[in-house]
């Protein structure tokens, strides 16, 4: 079953994992050290993130390293951009209103 990227980032632990591996690729054991949970639980989160293609894994010797898949993160950014435009418009309207109120008080 292919999961949705938004389903993957809905979980706070998975968002924290994304933040960790955005800085550098890490092994599951290294990731687990940052959480008060089991390696098995972290592995489940990594599996979901991998299924959504938000992270990629690379075998280096006997270790597997997980790193962030930047292109997939761009999909999230593109989706959020529509809301950024709405928010900016609303904030600009609020700025205009506050400026009008301030001028009226003078």
Q: pLDDT digit string (tens) for 79-106?
A: 889 888 888 888 888 888 888 888 888 7
**pLDDT on residue 1:** 56
Backbone angle region of 64, left / alpha / beta, with phi > 0 → left and psi within -120 to 50 → alpha: beta
- Give the Cα separation of 100 and 70 in Å (integer): 43
Calpha distance 23→6 (Å, rounded): 21
Confidence of residue 75 (pLDDT cuts 50, 70, 90): confident
């Amino acid at each position: 079953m292919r999961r949705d990227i938004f389903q993957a980032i809905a979980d706070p632990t998975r968002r924290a994992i994304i933040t960790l591996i955005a800085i550098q690729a890490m092994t599951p054991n290294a990731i687990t050290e940052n959480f008060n949970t089991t390696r098995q639980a972290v592995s489940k989160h990594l599996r979901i993130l991998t299924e959504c293609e938000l992270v990629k894994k690379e075998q280096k010797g006997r270790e597997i390293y997980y790193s962030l898949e930047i292109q997939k993160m761009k999909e999230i950014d593109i989706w959020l951009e529509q809301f950024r435009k709405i928010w900016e418009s609303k904030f600009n309207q609020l700025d205009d209103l506050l400026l009008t109120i301030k001028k009226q008080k003078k």
